[in-house]
Amino acid sequence: MTFALRQRKKYQLPRITMKKPKSAKIYIKVKGRICDFMWANVGPDNTVIMGFQSSGSEKLNFILDKNLGHLKTADIQVGESLIPPKVSFHKSGHYKLSTSIGLKPRGMDRCTITGTPLAKIREPRRMMEILIPKKLIITESQILDRDIFLDASQFPQRPLRCTISCISRDKFYEIIGSKAFFVDTSECDLTQALDSGCNIWAWTLRVSREDKIAPDHFHYFLPGEVRWGKNK
């Protein structure tokens, strides 16, 4: 895994170190406290699986379907979620959540987003957008060298969000060298990344002009097309 740091001009200069473990935890430092955030594992076929360190279950709020429009939970069949919930980014380009959904009861399957096969991703692709809750759990874990540490100590006292992006290795270092930023709409941001062996995965902690109130729980969104299960 590769760890890299990029911040806007008022912060320190970029720092890059090289590490390649097969798993990492992600932490956020806010108000002087280090808090649990996420974990990420890289499978033997370069599938990337991630989830949140805090306990809980996944609840579906809505789906934006290109043909059916805005679908609420009352408009579709929604099953139970895997416990603990996880998000799997398969190398095939099928990205799976934990909740089972279907247009009909006999067509239930894990919610699957169809995207680009991981090996074909070159330009930065937003894989997941996360709204950070107003309260985080202070970690009791020891932070290891392989872990990702997102320090928001110098950020304004505003709601936080995190954008997870996937990008090819050469394009990632091109962006780092050009001093460009992964998310142009941020008021301030900080990026650290890991090398899965196939791609670079970047976690960009940021303050967005669009966010006014932080949620009570994690809210996350996966862009792409929903693949509905077939009737069994």
The stretches in the chain having pLDDT less than 70 are 1-21, 179-181, 231-232
Q: What is the rounded CA–CA span in Å between residue 173 and residue 167?
A: 10
Distances (CA, A) of 18 to 15, 112, 178: 10, 33, 20
Taking a C-beta distance cutoff of 8 angstroms, is the pair 94, 227 a contact?
Answer: yes
The whole-number pLDDT of residue 13 equals 33
pLDDT of residue 6: 42
Q: What is the pLDDT of residues 41-72, one digit of tens each?
A: 998 888 999 999 987 888 888 999 989 999 99
Closest CA to 47 of 122, 114, 117: 117
Pull the structure tokens for residue 128.
Answer: 């997941």
pLDDT at residue 70 in the model: 93
**What local confidence, expressed as pLDDT, does residue 11 receive?**
38
Please count the other Cβ atoms lying within 10 Å of the Cβ belonging to residue 217.
12
Segment 88-105, tens digit of pLDDT:
999 999 999 999 999 988
pLDDT at residue 14 in the model:
38
- Joined tokens for residue 146: 């392989």
pLDDT of residue 81: 84
Q: How far is CA 102 from CA 63, 65, 109, 152, 232, in A?
A: 11, 13, 6, 39, 11
